[in-house]
Amino acid sequence: MISSLLLSQFPVFAGINRRNLTGGALGIIQCSLLRGKTNVMWRVIVNHTNKPINGVKFKLVASDGETRDIVEAVIPPSTDYQTIQTLGSTKTAVTITGEAYSFSLSGVYRYWLRTPLSVQCN
């Protein structure tokens, strides 16, 4: 009984996928299922240390149509951006679209997904 109680506290790894973003970054999406909810981790690792991420605009779309917009400033700027979003129920798949930005006095540099990136959650 104790082991089943402890196991229910840890997420079940469900899926992971990655893709290079245009502009020189790696995007990694991972989902895990825990207590009837889906946790989605989205991470962007930038190759340019002099062009860190300081703003993002992404959209998650779940297999059942639930959507989540992620629009935020990244303070302090980071070359390794990560967010974890919890979706309301167990999902079979999640897709992400969007871009990350490096704003500076010399202009805006973008890291973006050319096509949506999906991960299977079951």
pTM of the model: 0.85
Q: Which range has the top average pLDDT, 5-9, 13-17, 50-54?
A: 50-54
> Which domains are seen in the chain, by residue range?
2-120 (2.60.40.10)
Query: Which residue blocks in the chain are alpha helix, DSSP H?
Result: 2-7
pLDDT in tens, 16-54: 999 999 999 999 999 999 888 999 999 999 998 999 999
CA distance 39 to 13: 10
Tokens of residue 88, six digits: 């309301």
| Phi and psi at residue 4, to the nearest 5° | -70, -35
Of the candidates 75, 100, 77, the residue with the CA atom closest to the CA atom of residue 24: 100
